[in-house]
Amino acid sequence: MKKKPLIGIAGNILIMDGGKFPGMKRTYVNHDYVESIELCGGNAIIIPVKASHDELVRLLELLDGLVLSGGYDIAPDLYGEEPLPQQEFNYPEVDLFYIDLLKIARDLKKPVLGICKGMQAMNVAFGGSLFQDLKVQKEKAFKHSQDALRYQASHKVEIISKTFLSKCFPSEIRVNSFHHQAVKDVAPDFQVAAVALDGVVEAIEYTGDNFMVGVQWHPEMMASFGNKQMQTFFELFIKKCKPEEESK
Ligand code: MN
């Protein structure tokens, strides 16, 4: 049987705020990630939030690729800032888990796709910074927290030529948008791969010796609802994550 690339999805922690188990932590990812990966040629597995670096190395060695999912805000001290009043809930334990995974993936040369917070974590992990809140920090920013169904596109992005994204998409596409934070200073060794028409960075790519791409929108919410462009994007990412036996 031909092996499909095994793609780890970085998990998240959901703290129950009511019901029968208030305060209980649950490990989760939105099922759209699993569906998109499996629809587009991969096998998905969820990586729980954990602090042990050695265990994460061991897990990543087993995987062919990594997807970092969306989630809470990133704690601003991780990029050297004090919190603005607009900073929302953050969970540093999850941030450190993401950052550790990213550095391990880079060292082990495992392809990475960062989505929303996953892209922001990628930028922070390698030395970049974030706008803590677009509304107050970025003049004339469009609405990036859409009030529409999750698979509905709400703004345009321009794709920068000669990037991996330019092999996946035409020069202008429409995307969904569920973020109030965004990349501010792009990390060294990364390049901008897509921008919204208000100048907000919507995708970054690593220029070093590993395949790492981050997008600010949620392609998994669109791909799992049948969006062909976003399915192609997942397919091309998953093609980069060949199982070891096949790539030899
Ligand atoms: Mn956006």
The one-letter amino acid at 223:
A
Q: How far is the CA of 30 from the centre of ligand 1 (A)?
A: 19
Q: Which of 168, 220, 193, 247 is nearest to 35 (CA)?
A: 220
Name all contacts of 26-33 with Cβ < 8 Å and 24+ positions apart: 29/69, 30/69, 30/70, 30/220, 30/221, 31/224, 32/150, 32/218, 32/220, 32/221, 32/223, 32/224, 33/9, 33/67, 33/69, 33/115, 33/220
* Strand bridging mode 130-131 / 6-10: unpaired
- pLDDT tens figures, 46-91: 999 998 999 999 999 999 999 999 999 999 999 999 999 999 999 9
DSSP reduced 3-state for 126: coil
State residue 51's pLDDT score: 87
Predicted confidence (pLDDT) at residue 242 exceeds the cutoff of 90: no
Ligand 1 centroid to Cα of residue 140, in Å, is 13
- Please identify every residue whose CB atom is under 5 Å from ligand 1, which is an ion: 144, 177
Average pLDDT, the chain: 96
Q: What is the pLDDT of residues 207-240, one digit of tens each?
A: 999 999 999 999 999 999 999 999 999 999 999 9
Scan for tokens 């989505």, then name that residue: 115
* CA atoms within a 13 Å half-sphere pointing along the CA-CB vector of 19: 7
Known active-site residue 218: yes
What are the pLDDT digits (tens) for 131-178? Answer: 999 999 999 999 999 999 999 999 999 999 999 999 999 999 999 999
Given 40, 116, 168, 241, the catalytic residue: 116
CA 178/CA 121 separation, integer angstroms: 16
Q: State how beta strands 65-68 and 6-10 pair.
A: parallel
CA–centroid distance, residue 96 to ligand 1 (Å) = 24
In whole angstroms, what is the distance from residue 4 CA to residue 38 CA?
9
What are the residues facing 79 on neighbouring strands? none
Tell how far the Cα of 218 is from the centroid of ligand 1, in angstroms.
Answer: 9
CA of 238 to the centre of ligand 1 (A): 24
pLDDT band of residue 241 (cuts 50, 70, 90) is: very high
Structure tokens at 22: 């208030």
Q: Which of 155, 168, 179, 220 is catalytic?
A: 220
pLDDT value of position 63: 97
Residues 92-106: tens digit of each pLDDT: 999 999 999 999 999
Q: Indicate the pLDDT class of residue 248, thresholds 50, 70 and 90.
A: low
Half-sphere exposure in the Cβ direction for 91 (13 Å, CA): 15
